[in-house]
């Protein structure tokens, strides 16, 4: 049903953040990604967006974020606020936004403005996430050489 992509990007040392407050979804997604890309260094789950923002200094290669985040913590910021803060602090971060299909009209402006990839949360979502990760990591430049001081 889902054709296996024939590209395997360079995944060694890569870091992926998952920002999702639905635990079943986030844990399943983490399992799926680690199973699909064996070389990935770290996949971290953040149920609250603010926690992810605090960890941006770890330079995640990709952040996968649910657009509607505050289902469990009413005082937490929603996905849009978190995306704004991520892009302000780390403008080059690759962001994949997850949301239900019918939200696309609401979030399309955010997607364009903050240069995110949108994936609807349906049964094909994981497969599309996999393709997006391949696409992002395949075009990523190798880490810059840092000369010794």
Partner 1 sequence: MKNSDSQNDTIQENTSGENVCDLKDLIEMMNGKRHLIKEIMNTFLEETPKELLSINDAVTKIDYAGIKKFSHSMRSTVSIMGISILDPILKEMEDLGTMSADLEKIKTLHQKLNIICKRAIQEIEQEVQNYS
Site residues (vs partner 1, CB under 8 A) = 1-2, 20-25, 27-28, 31-32, 35, 66, 68, 70-72, 74, 100, 102, 121-123, 125-127
Q: How far is the CB of 16 from partner 1 (least distance, A)?
A: 16
Q: How far is the CB of 87 from partner 1 (least distance, A)?
A: 24
Q: How far is the CB of 85 from partner 1 (least distance, A)?
A: 21
Q: Which is nearer to partner 1, 50 or 103 (CB)?
A: 103
Q: What is the DSSP letter of 14?
A: -
Closest CA to 50 of 83, 72, 27, 26: 83
Residue owning tokens 């149920």: 47
Whole-number Cα distances in Å, 102 to 12, 44, 91? 36, 28, 27
Q: Which is nearer to partner 1, 22 or 90 (CB)?
A: 22
CA 66 – CA 112 distance, rounded (Å): 16
Q: How far is the CB of 145 from partner 1 (least distance, A)?
A: 37
Query: Could you tell me the two tokens for 22?
Result: 């639905």
């Amino acid at each position: 049903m889902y054709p296996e992509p024939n590209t395997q990007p360079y995944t060694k040392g890569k870091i992926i953040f998952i920002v999702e407050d639905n635990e079943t979804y986030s844990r399943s997604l983490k399992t799926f990604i680690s199973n699909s890309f064996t070389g990935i260094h770290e996949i971290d789950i953040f149920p609250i967006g603010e926690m992810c923002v605090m960890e941006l200094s770890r330079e995640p290669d990709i952040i996968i974020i649910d657009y509607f985040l505050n289902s469990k913590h009413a005082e937490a910021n929603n996905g849009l606020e978190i995306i704004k803060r991520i892009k302000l602090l780390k403008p080059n971060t690759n962001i994949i936004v997850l949301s239900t299909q019918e939200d696309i009209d609401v979030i399309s402006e955010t997607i364009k403005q903050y240069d995110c990839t949108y994936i609807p949360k349906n049964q094909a979502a994981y497969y599309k996430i996999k393709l997006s990760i391949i696409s992002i990591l395949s075009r990523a430049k190798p880490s810059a050489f840092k000369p010794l001081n």
